[in-house]
Amino acid sequence: MIPTKAYAAFSADSPLAPHTIQRRKPGPDEILIEILYSGICHSDIHTARSEWGPTQYPCVPGHEIVGRVVEIGRKVSRFKIGDHAGVGCFVDSCGKCGECRSDEEQYCTKHASFTYNSLERDLETPTYGGYSERITVREAYALKIKKSLPLEQVAPLLCAGITTYSPLKRHGIKKGMKVGVIGLGGLGHMGVKLAKAMGAEVTVFSTSPSKQKDAKKLGASHFILTKSPEAFTNVQGMFDFILDTVSAKHDFTPYLESLKKDGTLVLLGAAPDPSEVQAFSLIFGRKKLTGSLIGGIRETQEMLDFCAKKKVLSEVEVIPASKINEAYERTLKGDVRYRFVIDTSTLRSGK
């Protein structure tokens, strides 16, 4: 085993703190990645604080992982030492069920092994995420990253990127369509960039007036400040499709009313508290309310290649590991421009 420096949550209400975990030497079909950057997703915060149910502590969050391959098992064929590689929200799955066979491992009926707060396939070993120096993973669950890309801006694509790309792709977003994005945070800003790259006319719904200028720079044509009393008066029946990336409980009604007939509202934000839905807001106009969970490995690779081709990257603020708790507080206040990314070399240097 390889002792590995990390940052972990030890309880729901204490700050994250330095910790040492063990990573295994790579098996025949595994690679060892020296982690260079790891994004901070709001799911890390929900989990570190047991907001989605009891978390297994200590918990090392992080599922937007990029780094360099430093060791490979003897059967590895897709990676060589020195390659850049990424790991997203899951590190394994059964590989046999219908979902796995159709490249949607995130919906594995035997439950995927998520990157942290989950178990490896032996159903005994806890998984630990990217707030750490290195990770060992089966090559089939790692993503290839082009050497020419700035790694810190690629890291958030592994969750925020694929989570927004997958529903946009699935629902056939294309030129001329009107797409709304609710919440301009990590997921939201990627949703804007990706919808724009697919040709849509994008509108941001936000509670933060200070984000208006950025929304336009990111590619949105319109910005609606949802706190203003007249926010929704001119958008009734306007949108083909809306991505909801809000991390806290809120009312879906005004957004459902903003959809065209047969329009779709996709929930990506996973607010811990349930919301009510008015039947009439779906019945009139045959609207659809649905959800979406990240994306499979094949689709994540497709998204990375799409982003490389279209020059889509995340806007990031790179921080040392010692600033993780501060970054959590700022994310909770909506003060994120637009993803915090940990420079994990600071774990090694102790900065």
Q: Please give the residues from 86 up to 145 whose contact with ligand NAP meets the rule CB under 6 A.
A: none
Q: Does 180 bind ligand NAP (CB under 6 A)?
A: no
Three-state DSSP class for 47? helix
Two tokens, residue 270: 């996973």
Least distance (Å) between residue 247 CB and Zn ion: 11
299 within 8 A of 103, measured Cβ to Cβ: yes
Q: Which is nearer to Zn ion, 89 or 256 (CB)?
A: 89
> Which residues of the chain form contacts with Zn ion (CB under 5 A)?
41, 43, 93-94, 97, 100, 108, 110, 159
Q: Which does 15 bind (CB under 5 to 8 A by kind): ligand NAP, Zn ion, none?
A: none
Q: Does 270 bind ligand NAP (CB under 6 A)?
A: yes
**Dihedral, CA atoms, 239, 308, 132, 50, nearest 10 degrees?**
10
- The continuous run of DSSP H or E covering 332 comes out as helix 324-332
- Give the x/- contact pattern for ligand NAP in 216-255, rule: CB under 6 A: -----------------------------xxxx-x-----
Q: Which is nearer to ligand NAP, 67 or 188 (CB)?
A: 188
What is the rounded CA–CA span in Å between residue 38 and residue 152?
Answer: 8
For 22, residues 6+ apart whose C-beta sits below 8 A from its C-beta are: 1, 2, 3, 4
Among 16, 76, 137, 159, binds ligand NAP (CB under 6 A): 159
Q: Does 268 bind ligand NAP (CB under 6 A)?
A: yes
Q: Does 195 bind ligand NAP (CB under 6 A)?
A: no
What is the rounded CA–CA span in Å between residue 243 and residue 168?
Answer: 8
Q: Does 191 bind ligand NAP (CB under 6 A)?
A: no
Q: Which is nearer to ligand NAP, 117 or 206 (CB)?
A: 206
Strand-pairing partners, residue 135, are: 33
Cis peptide before 107 (omega within 30 of 0): no
Cis peptide before 150 (omega within 30 of 0): no
What is the rounded CA–CA span in Å between residue 232 and residue 257?
Answer: 9
| Main-chain phi, psi angles of 105, to 5 degrees | -60, -25
Q: Which does 268 bind (CB under 5 to 8 A by kind): Zn ion, ligand NAP, none?
A: ligand NAP
Among 135, 157, 336, 347, binds ligand NAP (CB under 6 A): 336
Q: Would you tell me which residues interact with ligand NAP (CB under 6 A)?
A: 41-43, 46, 159-160, 163, 183-188, 206-208, 211, 245-248, 250, 268-270, 292-294, 331, 334, 336
